[in-house]
A = this chain, B = another copy of it.
């Protein structure tokens, strides 16, 4: 996830402007319509905005899903066909929005994010939702696949999904988007546990990079997930005429999930911070152990080297009785070895008693 992923107009652009953005792979979009009630389900694939309009006005529930990135011209047409406010259209076009909830006179406009695990990194795509009297319009940059489970449930016709209204369908999509965070968090939890084992024993520079990556992803994930909680809370508090009482119970369950997601994320951040501290201490401890042993070795040999240096001096033994008489002693050499042994053992014992190694 990039640090800055918001698309924006230059400051001062008129609100609701849909600038001609040469988006990569622009004008590749596909519009699908699901029109259903408890008795039947009609699916229109690759259809057009105009063809959908009569269904939006019918009594049956209609779900229009726009996949891919429509060009600004197409988006304007869609906007006109579905009576979408220009501010909402601007937010749909300029992806990278913060999840938001806005009640327009005709429609409820909701922006959510869909986190997708791509290898080790997380990507997040914007999903825009518009709820009207008995229709739901959804926009998603990526392909259909994340919404397959809902479509399968529509086709199966089991449960409440076919008999309940567009607001229940909205709940189903929100619930799906929120629940997508769980496998991501499960993977994070697993990584944290793996890291935890490394940290106390053999953490190295890679461990550090790994901790950093995890924290980074969590900070960025938090940025997209935190506002989702507010969005669903706003729906629960608000008196939207399009959301029925019976759906609120399900939304509360969904709200609980957003809280649980944030709870996990906060716990993970605490854990990651704690682990970085422990990692640092652990590295420092290991380094200290190495340095202490090495320094002790050096320290033991330094006086010994001095002693052998002394008897390597070339003072003329013939100059007088005080000029290195030791060199002439028959047991001089052995005495020096003995002295050095005593010093070495003494120092080792001294260091040991002080627990220096």
Q: Give residues in A with beta carbon < 8 Å to B.
A: 2-4, 6, 8-16, 85, 87, 97-98, 100, 102, 104, 146-150, 153, 158-161, 172, 175-180, 182-183, 185-186, 188-190, 192-193, 196, 200, 202, 204-205, 208-209, 211-212, 215-216, 219-220, 222-223, 227, 249-250, 252-253, 256, 259-260, 263-264, 267-268, 270-271, 274-288, 290-292, 294-299, 301-306, 308-317, 319-324, 326-334, 336, 354-356
Contact = CB atoms under 8 A, between A and B. Distances in A.
Contacts of A314: 311-314, 324, 327
Nearest to A337: B310
Given A186-B4, A200-B208, A299-B298, A323 B313 contact: no
Given A2-B189, A319-B332, A253 B15 contact: yes
Q: Which 9 A-B pairs have the closest CB atoms?
A: A12-B149, A320-B330, A4-B189, A3-B189, A308-B309, A11-B179, A311-B313, A312-B312, A12-B176
Nearest to A303: B301
A4 B264 contact: yes
A72 to B, nearest CB: 16
A157 to B, nearest CB: 11
Contact of A323 (B190, B250, B278, B332): B332
Contacts of A283: 281, 284-285, 288
Contacts of A159: 14, 16
Nearest to A90: B253
Nearest to A278: B212
Contact of A322 (B8, B211, B270, B330): B330
Nearest to A282: B208
Contacts of A279: 281
A190 B3 CA distance: 8
A11 B176 CA distance: 5
Nearest to A186: B4
Contact of A267 (B3, B9, B10, B354): B3
A161 B14 contact: yes
Contacts of A11: 146, 149, 175-180, 182-183
